Structure 1
Amino acid sequence: MLLIKNGKIVTMTGVNYEKGSILIKDGKIVEISENINEPQGAEVIDAENKWVLPGLIDAHCHLGMLEEDIGFEGNDLNESTDPITPQLRAIDGINPFDPAFDEAVKAGITTVMSGPGSANVIGGQFAVIKTKGVSIDEMVILEPAAVKIAFGENPKRIYKGKNKMPMTRMGTAALLRETLTKAANYKNRKNAALAKGDNFDIDIRMEALMPVLDRKIPLKAHAHRTDDMLTAVRIAKEFNVLLTLDHCTEGHIIIEQIKNSGVPTIFGPIMTFRGKVETKNRNYTTAKLLNDAGVKLAIMTDHPVIPIEYLPICAGLAVKSGLSIEEALKTITINAAEILGISDRVGSIEKGKDADIAIYDGNPMDVYTDTLYTIIDGKIVYRR
């Protein structure tokens, strides 16, 4: 049992405490109040004058897939030998012993969505995992959590070098439509065979897309430019599937179109130079403008593009450009959890949720702030 007392608790539910307490038992939050009597035998953290938040969430990164301090041997990000690889699973490529996991924990980041890169039109299946553990299977919150798709420069550049489709944006969209059509046909044939009791040969590529067609998980669209984002929305509507717009670099140009689509956005990375043509219009005010329009918004690092420990600083830069402190914190807690489909477990400090909590000596979006404690599933996994 663990008791956190006297903390400035920011629950992300709209109910905060200037001086409150949280009781944790069996890995779950069991009580939140201004005052909780200290249970016998409980470990106590006195968080007076400290910020107590739900563990932070990075909604798009490649943690454990492009490992630190290692070259090719630790690069499991892109299977860039075939533009269509939905059958790839992030859990088969994430190394929990990547040193970046420790950096995440030290920053109070307790949950991430990690998965394949953007070389392929369909790159594979992302997973949502906790940031502490030795077995990826025990760290998983949700898997598969999304299927990665990519538009724009990346698949064009990779496959132009191989002299094969796609070498144009038309080719990327055509391959995606073709594959989703094959998946829909596969689903119909499978259902018909099962209804008759006939044998049916399983195709693991097509099986990977069944949760997408069933609207259980979204397509996770790498898209920077306006036309790429709108193509992603167009195709999602054609096939009646869920979608998230990841990167959304030019989102400020098509705010009304994104708002009307109802598609959530995962914005970033924003602490980088404009290294590609499609990022030339990157703007720090995009997060505020999307949020003000009512678009569900999370902020990402795209680690290792931005080191994962700087996730709260990325949110802080959005504050500097006009986003409120409360809304910025939502982008790396409850909004991220809702977009990833895991808000029943994490993203806020509420009774019954996983006891994933970060304690700071100030606002975590301030560069001078230190993480004092990180708690995952009720266990202190980092203590400054």
Structure 2
Amino acid sequence: MKKILLTISFLAAIGWAGAQDNIYPAPAQANPIYIIGGTVHVGNGTVLEKAIVQIENGKIVRVGKDIPVPKTANVQVVNADGQHVYPGLILASTDLGLREISGSVRGTNDYRELGDLNPNVRAIAAYNTESEFINPLRTYGILLANVIPQGSLVMGTSSVVQLDAYNFEDAAYLADNGMHISLPSFIQRRGRRGGFGGPSAGNSNPAEAAQERINVIKKYFNDARSYFTETVHPNGKNLKLEAARPLFDKKQKLFVHANEVKQMLVAIDFVKQYGFDVVIVGGTESWQIADLLKANNIAVILNNTHNLPTMEDDDVDQPYKTPAVLQKAGVLFALNDNHVNSRYKNLPFNAGTAAAYGLSREEALSAITLNAAKILGVQDKTGSIEAGKDANIVISKGDILDMDGNVVTDAFIQGRKIVLESKQEQLADKYKHKYNVK
């Protein structure tokens, strides 16, 4: 009986995890495209009214008002009059394509490895382009994502993917852009959400237990640095130590998952001790040390703006105000949505909330476009609507940061006009047809 139930669960998982069979990745751009008449939000704070965006061979050629539009048969004109044109939104830290049915069907999840030290794990190798959650995100304007591994201590490397691909090779936008580590909590406390956690097993002092775990991470980096100074390796290549080479060569960033001030001070120590380019992921208490983060050139990815404060004596709206504090201090930051229930669709609305609590609309937009691109290392290719960059563009009927205005009518990834449809919409249409609902 158990075998039958397991088989049924597995088959159900396969059916659930399959992508829409009649929605295919768009072919490469064949003809010139001109988006005309829309309000273009460049992504760097500039707004152009009644502007034209010229796209050829997947790239943005020109952006402006006085661009002639050829009247030839092969030219595709997209009329965006009265609408808003944005850079494609970027999900800066996510398990999209790695986690499908949380908890109940383990076979659909491949986001975490066993053990504390997994620096050679590559998230891109497990990325599933058939995930049910990809297409719905595109209808909200999210066109790129940084897919990360999870685990304890050293988790592995993340990769930036574009959300219209047949397989992970096609999806890879920038592979292995950074290594991720997760820092243990230094304190045991209970706040509005129950606190950050308690001490590690075997040690009743949470600070000492945390330091022991951090020493494991430091030993790994010290061993890697010593390994790189050796010209001969009698035991052959050590894949775990080799994985840290791009960090020391400044070809990768170190993404430190941390929320507490004490954890972020450890991240600063990594900058001073190893010279790493560090990004804080989470950053709940980053507002308390914004000037220190700026002084050490540390960027921040704020995971959830829609959240309760950490402690009872924090302002009730502190999570909403934190982006404005970082902006004022000059800290490079991106907004994110890693909430497993909403499945990351609230990304633009997190930015909208931040705009209501101190950011301008264009600053909030930059936090999910150009800022995110800078942090992830893809600013030369995307994040803003500028000549020479990939044509990752979204057209919305209204303000994309507003729940009412976010009605995406067109989206382009590298100049390819993608299908804005999902299985959820297909099912809705199916039963509208059945019951003759218009």
Superposed pair shares fold, TM > 0.5: yes
Instruction: Determine which of 169, 172, 197 is the counterpart of 1:140.
Output: 172
Task: Give 1:380 shift.
Answer: 1.1
Partner amino acid, structure 1, of 2:167: S
Residue matched to 1:49 = 82
Judged with a 3 Å threshold, the aligned counterparts in structure 2 of structure 1 residues 254 and 14 are, in CA distance, closer, same or farther, namely closer
Residue matched to 1:171 = 212
SS at match of 1:168: helix
Residue matched to 2:237 = 202
Residue matched to 2:124 = 91
Judged with a 3 Å threshold, the aligned counterparts in structure 2 of structure 1 residues 153 and 99 are, in CA distance, closer, same or farther, namely farther
Q: TM-score, normalization: structure 1?
A: 0.90
Q: Is the 8 A contact 1:59 1:336 kept in 2?
A: yes
Q: Is the 8 A contact 2:306 2:320 kept in 1?
A: no
Output one character per residue of 1:246-304: Cα deviation in whole Å (capped at 9) or x when no partner: 11100111122112111111112122456x88998862211100111100111011253
Output one character per residue of 1:200-253: Cα deviation in whole Å (capped at 9) or x when no partner: 711111111110111111110100011001111112320111110111100111
Instruction: Determine which of 97, 112, 132 is the counterpart of 1:78.
Output: 112
Give me the whole-angstrom Cα distance separating, in 2, the residues matched to 1:254 and 1:349: 33
Residue matched to 1:233 = 268
% same residue: 27
Residue matched to 1:337 = 373
Judged with a 3 Å threshold, the aligned counterparts in structure 2 of structure 1 residues 349 and 78 are, in CA distance, closer, same or farther, namely same
Residue matched to 2:57 = 26
Output one character per residue of 1:326-363: Cα deviation in whole Å (capped at 9) or x when no partner: 11010011111111111110001111111100001111
Q: TM-score, normalization: structure 2?
A: 0.79
SS at match of 1:143: strand
Q: Is the 8 A contact 2:123 2:159 kept in 1?
A: yes
Task: Give 1:61 shift.
Answer: 1.2
Judged with a 3 Å threshold, the aligned counterparts in structure 2 of structure 1 residues 269 and 359 are, in CA distance, closer, same or farther, namely same
Residue matched to 2:140 = 107
Judged with a 3 Å threshold, the aligned counterparts in structure 2 of structure 1 residues 18 and 314 are, in CA distance, closer, same or farther, namely same
Moved more, 30-39 or 4-13: 30-39
Task: Give 1:105 shift.
Answer: 1.1
Judged with a 3 Å threshold, the aligned counterparts in structure 2 of structure 1 residues 201 and 351 are, in CA distance, closer, same or farther, namely same
Partner amino acid, structure 2, of 1:222: H
Residue matched to 1:125 = 157
Number of paired residues? 373
- Structure 1: 4+ residue segments shifted above 6 A: 156-159, 276-281
Output one character per residue of 1:27-84: Cα deviation in whole Å (capped at 9) or x when no partner: 11112221431352122210001110111111111111111476311222221x2111
Give me the whole-angstrom Cα distance separating, in 2, the residues matched to 1:353 and 1:279: 45
Judged with a 3 Å threshold, the aligned counterparts in structure 2 of structure 1 residues 142 and 86 are, in CA distance, closer, same or farther, namely same
Give me the whole-angstrom Cα distance separating, in 1, the residues matched to 2:116 and 2:269: 20
Instruction: Give the number of the structure whose alpha-carbon radius of gyration is greater.
Output: 2
Give me the whole-angstrom Cα distance separating, in 2, the residues matched to 1:140 and 1:280: 40
Q: Tell me, which stretches of 5 or more residues in structure 1 are unaligned? A: none
Moved more, 324-333 or 34-43: 34-43
Partner amino acid, structure 2, of 1:75: N
Task: Give 1:15 shift.
Answer: 4.1
Residue matched to 1:251 = 286
Partner amino acid, structure 1, of 2:50: K
Task: Give 1:126 shift.
Answer: 0.4
Residue matched to 1:8 = 39
Give me the whole-angstrom Cα distance separating, in 2, the residues matched to 1:162 and 1:87: 28
